[in-house]
Amino acid sequence: MGVTKKLLYLNRKAPHGTIYAQEALEVVLIGSAFEQDISLAFVDDGVYQLKKQQDTKATGMKNFSPTYRALDDYDVNKLYVEQESLAARGLSAEDLIVPVQVLSSAELAALMATQDVVFSF
Amino acid sequence: MNTLHTVNKSPFERNSLSSCLRLAAAESSILLFEDGIYAALQGTEFSETIQTALATHSIYVLVPDLQARGMSLEQVIAGVQAVDYAGFVDLTTTHYPIQAWL
Amino acid sequence: MAIEVNGKVLETDEEGYLNDLADWSEEVAHSMAAKDGTELTAAHWEVINFLRGYYEEYQIAPAVRILTKAVAKSLGADKGNTQYLYSLFPEGPAKQACRYAGLPKPTGCI
């Protein structure tokens, strides 16, 4: 195998209104096979992707939120959420379906600056 | 009949809701659905905007879209009325015209 | 594409995975396996049921390396290894077992 790169997937969209969140999740799962150093960041409406208790039955859409809990099986376990985005939406880490590290904007900026590639969704 | 305005975008991501509130006539109704439901919740940066708008508008939120996003009725701002799909249809028959803020 | 089980036509994708998970029954699994010349044993069912449970919990059909790891954790190392799983499902344990289980093609299969 070649050199390991630091890859960050930056999630900024709410889960069901557009396809971005679900596509990002799929790319992460598939991409995990390449054994790179993967991180996921959730900012802006992206924090809504991790909201607990999503129930899409009445809408007839797929509920992909339980899949975030499978990320650990795929050895993707660096999940970061921006504190400012949570606060603007009245949310806290307890509202989220998986354990995450909550970072300030400044801390997240620093983390992003260390990445080789940032994928935007 | 009064106008029904529909907003299906998150207020955090688009200005659909602010444009709607700026341009909607008093007494017109507003339905929040799809990602628009995020505006209907307590404790967000937009809660106050909705609370103010309730003085001049009837505001509705589509419950299946709330549930899909992990939100419950208890988190909805007091005064915002819950509707299901049948209620959505009723709104379209009791209002005219219908204006979508995409 | 479609398959017929007990006179009922069930839609599948071009690789034979059920379009609708709700169409699945044990008979569907038996019928798919029979077409491949495989008779499903208790050992096959253990993996098929494990996959259905995994999908129920995570809404995803796991890639083979994930399946192997998860089977090892839940059913023991003697079953959670590629040799054992390939002996049951020579087409590829995740791919073939997912198909019999009525699940979509595994995510992360490349």
* Interval A17-58: pLDDT, tens: 999 999 999 999 999 988 899 999 999 999 999 999 999 999
Q: Are the beta carbons of A32 and C70 separated by less than 8 Å?
A: no
Q: How confident is the model at residue C87 (pLDDT cuts 50, 70, 90)?
A: very high
Best CA proximity match to A81, nearest among A121, A108, A106: A108
Q: What are phi and psi of B43, to 5 degrees?
A: 80, 15
Separation of CA C24 from chain center: 11
Q: Cβ–Cβ contacts within 10 Å for residue A87, how many? A: 15
Distance CA B75, CA B40 (A): 8
Interface of A with C in 44-73 (CB under 8 A): 62-67, 69-70, 73
A61 and A16 Cβ atoms separated by less than 8 Å: yes
Tell me which CATH code domain C2-100 carries: 1.10.10.370
Q: What is the ipTM of this complex?
A: 0.94
Indicate the SS3 state at residue B35.
helix
In one letter, which amino acid is B24? Answer: A
As a dihedral over the C-alpha atoms of residue A7, residue A62, residue C103, residue C47, rounded to 10 degrees, the angle is 70
- Residue scoring higher pLDDT (A59 or C93): A59
- Whether chain A has a CB inside 8 Å of the CB on C22: the answer is no
Contact C98, C106 (CB under 8 A): yes
For B34, name the nearest residue in chain A, comparing CA atoms only. A17
C98 is catalytic: no
What does the DSSP assignment read for A22-47? HHHHHHHHHHGGG--EEEEEE-GGGG
Q: Which residue of A has its CA nearest to C56?
A: A66
Radius of gyration of chain B (CA): 12
Across the range B87-101, mean pLDDT stands at 98
Domain boundaries, chain C: 2-100
Across the interface, of C59, C66, C70, the residue whose CB is closest to A63 is: C59
- In whole angstroms, what is the distance from residue B78 CA to residue B48 CA? 11
SS3 letters for chain C?
CEEEECCEEEEECCCCCECCHHHCCHHHHHHHHHHCCCCCCHHHHHHHHHHHHHHHHHCCCCCHHHHHHHHHHHHCCCCCCHHHHHHHCCCCHHHHHHHHCCCCCCCCCC
Chain B positions touching A19 (Cβ under 8 A) are none
The third-level CATH classification (topology) of the domain covering A6-120 is Hypothetical Protein Ychn; Chain: A, (3.40.1260)
The pLDDT of residue C110 is 47
At C109, is the pLDDT very low, low, confident or very high (cuts 50, 70, 90)? low
What would the pLDDT profile of A64-87 be if each residue is shown by its tens digit? 999 999 999 999 999 999 999 999
**% of chain C beyond a pLDDT of 70:** 97
> Distance between CA C48 and CA C98 in Å, rounded?
7
| CB half-sphere exposure, B82, CA atoms < 13 A | 15
A9: left (phi over 0), alpha (psi -120 to 50) or beta: beta
pLDDT at residue A58 in the model? 96
Residues with Cβ within 8 Å of A109's Cβ and at least 6 positions away in sequence, in order, are: none
Residue B99 has pLDDT above 90, yes or no: yes
pLDDT the model gives residue C93: 87
Residue B57 phi/psi, 5° resolution? -135, 150
Report whether pLDDT(C72) > 80. yes
Reported as a pLDDT band with limits 50, 70 and 90, residue A1 is low
Tell me whether residues A70 and C60 touch, CB distance under 8 A: yes
Q: Which residue has the tokens 């954790």?
A: C73
Q: Mean pLDDT throughout C25-46?
A: 95
- Which is higher by pLDDT, C14 or A11? A11
Going along B35-88, which residue ranges are E strands? 58-62, 81-83
Asked: is B4-101 a CATH 3.40.1260.10 domain? The reply is: yes
